A and B are shown apart, each in its own frame.
Chain A
Amino acid sequence: MSTSHSDRRIPILAVRSRRTIRFRLTAIYASLFLISGALLLTIGYHFVTDVLPAPDPHHMGPADKAANEVFAARRHITLATLLSEQGRWRAHALHKLLAENIALLAGLSLLSVALGWLTATRALRPLRRITNTTKNISARNLNERLDLEGPDDELKELSATIDELLARLERSFQSQRRFVANASHELRTPLALEQALLEAALTEPHPTATSWRTTCERALASSKHQTRLLEALLALARSERALDRNEPIDLAVMASRVLDAHQAEAQRQHIKITAQLDPAPVTGDPRLIERLIDNLTDNALSHNQHHGSVQITTTTVDSRAVLSIINTGPDVRAADISRLLQPFQRYGADRTNHTGGLGLGLSIVHAITSAHNAQLDIHPRQRGGLAIEVRFAPQVALDQAKTGHASSQREECPSLPRPRSDSRSAASTAVRTANMAASEASGPRAAIQESPALR
């Protein structure tokens, strides 16, 4: 008995909870109608009661009394009879008015419930369409849109907002898919090469020690390439998550260390590195910051020209540490900059250009700057090459004593064109000496001399 009872109740509850907005809209509509109708009719009823006062000879004005007496005399009845007739007629009229009002209110209320239900259904129909379409959209058909037609109202706004969300999701899914496709291409090609090389060596009809040696060397080179690629991918993954470590670092120290590591490479390519390393304290993950500077320097060197130059500056402007790297090199179109920040995109042709670069350098830089809330600006230079600037978030809590002299110098004249000064020159001691002379001539370089970069 109890089970059948509960069985009967569930569908009612389900219906109610499923159509709750429609139900509520109807209820609100009908009750508002009922209240305002009742109010209106009550006011009307009271108005009629006021206009038709109960006949009472004691409270009657002399003029009314005289008129009633004349009227009663003309009809040959007493005043009392007339008044009692009037009273009966008034009571009847008021009673009828009340009864009809109530009936009318009841009828109209029912009508308002029906109309409210219909209106709510109609108003909520687009919402139902939105729900159904959204329910059917998954990762596979993210290109579908609601495209709600009709008046420019809130529901259309909702549908437009959902469409925008879908567009963003679609873009992000696409870039994810592209990344996976590119990563699998980049990872599988060297694997395929290695396998092909080894198989070719094993099936060689007349193998010689030299041919085996060549194969081993080539397989080893490919294996090293894979190691670099995996490390870069791991670095990208690491730099995309929140920072593990947050330590105070001086960009100048870091940059000087990185430049030391790149000296040989620069020398080989006859590229002159000039550095002005003023203290630039930041807080962040030292490994990531080092990777950031390393990637940018590597980039500046590998996409350069013979006898080109790389200019590296670290400084603090308005308590923000700034790293800037400017290099000569081939022309880069401004339109290509955002593409270069995508993984596996390389300078020049598309990603299948095998020039030895992994195509991950700038993606990693981008991820690291994002993780440190730093701002990355990349501009192509007019005569070729890139000008890259990384502005770190303001270092509020940092002790002024440490950076005092350097930053005050900048604050006086923030747009001062900084005189080029050596710190590390790629080419030779001669260049270094020449630059030192230039730096002495160009003004106070106490900050640089004190900077650990020169130690």
Chain B
Amino acid sequence: MKKINFNTRSLFALPYVIYMFIFVVVPLFMLFGFAFFGENGFSLDEATAFFTDCSQWATIGRSLRIALTAALSCILIGFPLAYIIAKIRSKTVQYMILMALVAPMWINGLLRTIALKELSTMINFEAGETLLTLGLIIDYLPFMLMPIYLVITGIPKSYLEVSADLGASPMVTFFKVVLPLSMSGIISGFLMVFTPAVSTYYMSEYLGNQSTFMIGEQLNIMFTKDNKSGAAVIALVLLALVGLSVFIANCVSRIGNNKKQGGLA
């Protein structure tokens, strides 16, 4: 028999491991429990009800579309933003700008969402998919900005110099060196924006209209109406969507790096 060799120093992680087990792993299993075990034991009723309703698929598709638009727009805005900030000479100015971009989060997200709604009403900008997408972009931009910024500042200056030395124009250097090396930041940023966007409920409630009904809202309705098993099924669907996006992101980054690499961020 192999005896378990408890290394004393890894015990420092014990509070963490216990906490994560209780508050992350166990609840995850409970989701499965509530989704598939009703009062009469195992039952697929809720899941079947969900998947056989074709309007649900439309909702999933709509949520994906809105979240994808928001996340990709965040890349289009966040990447140049991070690049510009990283290129500023003074570190202090860099930190100040980052701080200024992240600090609005000290004001509660719900409050900012409603403030945006007020603003849009004031300038007669109709609530709907565009406003919702805009809200998602504004709210989650920091989550895109930070990982990309960290990756870009982590690229050794010598790489850029080598590239220039080998005759690459700044443009070519950007596309051949900076962009590929920032890929990991872009991917984790994408996931950090996509996930909350695809599952949002209060944003679509306040910024959207009747044609932006999203899957997060659906979960919220189920939850507030105390339909725990229905909500659990939707939660699992969301989990699967997120898992799928992580999987795709990992595949992309693996192919991008030409080697086996697990994990993200």
Bind each other: no
